[in-house]
Amino acid sequence: MREEEKKRTSQNQSSKMQQFFRKRWVFPAIYLASAAIILTAVLWYQSLNNEVADPGKKYGSDNLPGVVTKEEPNVPVNATVENFAMPVLDKDAVEIFKQFYDVDASAEEQEAALVFYDNTYYQSRGLDIVAKDGKEFDVVASLSGTVTKVAKDPLFGNMVEIEHSNGVVTVYQSLSNVKVKEGDTVKQGQILAKAGKNVFNQEAATHVHFEVRNSEGKALNPLEFFDKPLTSVEDSEGDTEKKPSEDEKKPAEDDEKTNDEDSNDEDSSGASVGQARA
């Protein structure tokens, strides 16, 4: 009996399978499914080979692991360019006590730009800046750069010099509590020291003496460069070279008289601040 039941069951299953495969949609469905599986396998294999052949697609051509590119580093297009700034944190809290001596200024302005020391008048080669309330204040870097000199001068007091691009140098004198040292890299607006006093200009009391010098060491009027970039220093040098000298403007018969007057002026007025420093 059991063997007959097994045979009947087997015959029924075989009959159902035959009926299933006799349906029209069975073989097309099997074919499509097989094709889809084969196509998926082929595409996966190709993508795997592409990753091995071109790893740049996975990591990016500029970020391949263990590869050093020879391209120059990218520079931000909109990088800010620093302009000369007053060497103080709050420019509204200070004022200029002594101006830069400008040879093209009026006689009154030139007289106001003279510093009286040891019974002699000296031409100011920078700006003497004081606080309106007469108190000490923070002195900051006018531009970013490298500190090339930190020293104490018997006349000008504690001083700091910072070199910038194109050989331009800013000078800070009459300082106290200096916070930087030679070789330091400073950012624009970074505190360098406190305003202090010096022997050379006792009349200014607590102040900072600020200078701007070009690549040749010539002192320039800082007021002409505030809120302007470093390139303005080069532009001013070009304008100076094109400008005719005072000797060219004077008649030839006045040359001898001019030379005598210049000699007398040097004897009577003394050396400049730069000469006094030497």
Per-residue pLDDT reduced to its tens digit, 115-171: 999 999 999 999 999 999 999 999 999 999 999 999 999 999 999 999 998 899 999
**Average pLDDT of the segment spanning 188-208:** 96
Residue 57: exposure state from Cβ atoms within 10 A (0-12, 13-18, ≥19): exposed
Which residues, including other chains, have CB under 8 Å from residue 227's CB and lie 6 or more apart? Answer: 83, 84, 85
Which residues, including other chains, have CB under 8 Å from residue 215's CB and lie 6 or more apart? Answer: 166, 167, 168
Residues 149, 159: Cα–Cα separation, whole Å? 8
Per-residue pLDDT reduced to its tens digit, 54-80: 555 444 544 444 444 455 545 444 456
Cut 0.85: pTM above it: no
Per-residue pLDDT reduced to its tens digit, 217-274: 999 999 999 999 988 987 776 544 433 344 433 443 444 444 444 444 444 444 344 4
Question: Considering the domain 80-228, what is its CATH architecture?
Answer: Distorted Sandwich (2.70)
Which residues, including other chains, have CB under 8 Å from residue 150's CB and lie 6 or more apart? Answer: 158, 159, 160, 161, 178, 180, 181, 182
Residue 39, pLDDT score = 79
Segments making up each domain of the chain, as ranges: 2-59, 80-228
